[in-house]
A = this chain, B = another copy of it.
Amino acid sequence: MPLFDKPLSELREYRPERDEQPDFDAFWQRTLAEAREHPLDAEFTPYDAALSLLDVFDVRYSGWGGHRIAGWFLVPAGTTEPLPTVVHYIGYNGGRGFPHDWLATAAAGYATFVMDTRGQGSAGTPGDTPDPVGGANAQTPGFMTRGVLDPDDYYYRRVYTDAVRAVEAAAGHPLVDEERIVVAGGSQGGGITQAVAALVPGLAGAMIDVPFLTGFRRATEIVDTMPYGEIVKYLAIHRDHEEQVFRTLSYFDGTNLAPRGTAPALYSVAMMDMTCPPSTVFASYNHYAGPKEIRVWTYNKHEGGQTFQTREQLRWLRDLFKNEG
């Protein structure tokens, strides 16, 4: 049934109970503090992308554990003043690709920073960033269960931390106006964006499309698609780890992160999305603590609004910075 989840009228009011561990905030403070013990050491190397309207840089900076994370940085050719900036996070399995894959916000005149996702980058677009940390437990192929028995070992602890550090790396660049940084991403990128919105104060905005990594338990109960399905596959074998797994996931669940976000946010959701079901998206949206809007795409699956959503974003960004200016 295409409209398989709750009806829209219910979703608008859907605020499920949150399941947070008492040390939730302490966990993240400790995590970020540890990461910051490594110098950020951001490098921006000019890169010949054959794009004459832009100045392009190949980026490296230190994320979780001091591991070097790759990225791109694009500004209009000849820029000399700090610009409003968009920091992009990437969907599951994808990598940073090439600079010409990131032109929309660049052509709109914003400084554009892209974070590669560690370990990923072998589907859709190539990535260049290894995850030098192995698993602390047997895992299902994919990234969802890597280290899933302990929040300290969990893969997304490293990724969310990399993402916070990406904002810091961007903010340190002279062409970035650190008061005007927007974070953005779809699917996994949307989940990361939501986490960053919770963990980084002072952001100018967040654009969160069809976010993944939110409402883990409900997702495993109502859809059997990947990547949430990696958790199901793991638990189908490790029948004795159910509570331990969901305890770990609670530290990374958008439902728990969203109430800590305060920057203006533009969400999107697709009503026929069986990858990131609408109720899991509204679970975090309805808990989000900042000013917020959501675009609802009725006849779409996980692709969501696609180019329509990009149009919405370009307009929303223009309004955001116009109003601020």
- Closest CB of chain B to A84's CB: distance in Å? 11
Instruction: Identify which of residues 90-143 in chain A touch chain B, using a CB-to-CB cut-off of 8 Å.
Output: 93, 95, 97-98, 100-101, 103-104, 106-109, 119-143
CB-CB < 8 A to A240: which residues of B?
308
Q: Which of B1, B133, B233 contacts A123 (CB 8 A)?
A: B233
Is A50's CB within 8 Å of the partner chain B? yes
Q: Hey, which chain B residues are within 8 Å of A109, CB to CB?
A: 51-53
- Asked whether any CB of chain B lies closer than 8 Å to the CB of A173, the reply is no
Of the candidates B103, B224, B307, B314, the one whose C-beta lies within 8 Å of that of A104 is B103
A220 touches B2 (CB 8 A): yes
Instruction: Tell me if A221 counts as interface (CB < 8 A to partner B).
Output: yes
Bound state CA distance, A138 and B76, in angstroms? 30
Q: Does A223 contact B (CB under 8 A)?
A: yes
Report the bound CA distance from A307 to B94 in whole Å: 12
| CB atoms of A221 and B3 under 8 A apart | yes
A319 to B53, CA, bound (A): 17
> Cα distance A297–B240 when bound, in Å?
10
Contact yes or no, A235 B52, CB < 8 A: no
The closest CB in chain B to the CB of A110 belongs to B52
Bound Cα distance A125, B138 (Å): 11
Q: Are A310 and B100 in contact (CB under 8 A)?
A: yes
Q: Are A311 and B98 in contact (CB under 8 A)?
A: yes
Does B50 lie within 8 Å of A314, measured CB to CB? Answer: yes
Identify A124's interface contact among B3, B97, B135, B237, CB under 8 A: B237
Cβ proximity bits A216-228 to B, threshold 8 Å, 1 near / 0 not:
0000111110000
**How would residues 62 to 80 of chain A score, 1 for a CB under 8 Å from any chain B CB and 0 otherwise?**
0000000000000010000
Q: Give residues of chain A (202-261) contacting chain B, Cβ–Cβ below 8 Å.
A: 220-224, 232-240, 242
Measured CA separation A133–B49 after assembly (Å): 34
User: Does A223 lie within 8 Å of B138, measured CB to CB?
Assistant: no
A298, A315, A317 — which one has the most chain B CB atoms within 10 A of its CB? A298
The yes or no answer to A24 lying at the interface (CB within 8 A) is no
- Give the nearest-CB partner of A131 in chain B: B134
CB-CB < 8 A to A306: which residues of B? 125
List of B residues within 8 angstroms of A4 by Cβ:
1
CA distance in complex: A222, B7 (Å)? 12
Chain B positions within 8 Å of A134 at CB level: 119, 130-134
- Whether the pair B138, A130 counts as a contact (CB closer than 8 A) is yes
Q: Which residues of A15-63 have CB atoms within 8 Å of chain B's CB atoms?
A: 49-54
Question: In the assembled complex, which residues on chain B have CB atoms less than 8 Å from the CB atom of A98?
Answer: 307-308, 310-311
A271 to chain B, nearest CB (A): 9
| In the complex, the 7 A-B pairs of residues with the closest C-beta atoms, listed nearest first | A52-B109, A121-B138, A103-B103, A50-B314, A235-B299, A141-B142, A127-B138
Extra pairs beyond A51-B107, A123-B237 (4, CB < 8 Å): A50-B108, A95-B237, A121-B237, A122-B138
